[in-house]
Structure 1
Amino acid sequence: MASFHYAYQKIVDLKASEKTQAEWLLSAAIGKLQAEEMTLGQLFQERASWSERLHDASKAAVALSELLLMQQYVDYVDACIARKQMDVKQAQRQVDDSRTVLSGKMMDEKVWQKSKERALDRFRSVIQTKEQNELDEMATVRFIAAAR
């Protein structure tokens, strides 16, 4: 029996490889987004801690210069939070873009896999027809030989 050989197998393999690469890129983008969100959470915790310290210090007898220094640090943390929020948004956009690319790669791979499956179905049909013709021919030869 003949074996099936798909003429475009290298393209199918390439599409599968491209999909795998897109999955890796998406995974990396998600990892970066999670890291950015974790850092943002830490900044929010630090800001809450320093705001509490500033509030407590304002009630106690603390020098004005210390209060100003603490307020400046809270303002600095606020600026860091604003920058980090922009980083999170950029990382989220990267995740969305990576998902879109992966979706396209998955569609490409699926199209080529379907094409391969249809070619395999046609191949099986041809083989089955040949086998049936050979069986019919053998039955005809036996019938003719038995009739003599």
Structure 2
Amino acid sequence: MKKFQFHLQKVIDIKEKNRELVEWSYTKILNDLQKEEKKLADLFSDKQQIEKQLSDEQKKGITIIKLQQVYDYLAFLRSQINQQKEMIKKQEHQLQEKKDELKEAKIEEKIWHHYKDKRLQEYLLESKRDEQKQIDELATYRSYY
């Protein structure tokens, strides 16, 4: 009996490779997003720490020059926080796009695997018919002689 060979196996291989590449890309974007979120958390932590120090120093007494430096630094931190939020928003958008692309790649791969399974079932059914036909012919041949 002839072995089953799916004539579009290369298509399935390409679809699997595409899904793997999209998964890798998705994972990279997710890791980058997590790094950016950590940076944002660090910036918020720095800002809170500076604000606490400012509050403590104001109670003790602080020079105007030092006060201006702290306010300038806080303004810088706020600016960095806003930039970081924008960066995170962009990466979240990229992540969503990649997630949609991954979903589509998985669907395509599943469709092709389903098609292959259907062809395999047809092949098995045809093989079973051929086998039965041979058995019937053999039985007819033996009963004839």
**TM-score, scaled relative to structure 1:** 0.95
1:67-87 alpha-carbon deviations (Å, 9 max, x no partner): 111111011101100000001
Residue 11 of structure 2 corresponds to 11
Q: Which residue of 2 aligns with 1:29?
A: 29
Shift of 1:117: 0.8
Residues 1:20 and 2:20 aligned together: yes
CA distance in 2, matches of 1:57, 1:64: 12
Moved more, 54-63 or 102-111: 54-63
Cα pair 1:15 1:105 within 8 Å, conserved:
yes
Question: What amino acid does structure 2 have at the position aligned with 1:16?
Answer: E
Write out the 4+ residue segments of structure 1 that deviate beyond 4 Å after TM superposition: none
* Separation of aligned partners in 1, 2:7 and 2:62: 81
RMSD across aligned C-alpha pairs, in angstroms? Answer: 0.8
| Equivalent position of 1:111 in the other structure | 111
Aligned-partner Cα distance in 1 for 2:24–2:139: 58
1:1-148 to 2 correspondences below 5 Å: 1-145=1-145
Residues 89-148 of structure 1: CA distance to partner in whole angstroms, max 9, x if unpaired? 111111101100001111111111111111111111111100000011111122222xxx
5+ unaligned residues in a row in structure 1: which ranges?
none
Question: Aligned partners of 1:64, 1:76: CA distance in 2, in Å?
Answer: 18
Distance 2:88 2:22 in 1: 21
CA distance in structure 2 between the aligned counterparts of 1:65 and 1:104, rounded to whole angstroms: 59
TM-score by length of 2: 0.97
Q: Which stretches in structure 2 are left out of the alignment for 5+ residues?
A: none
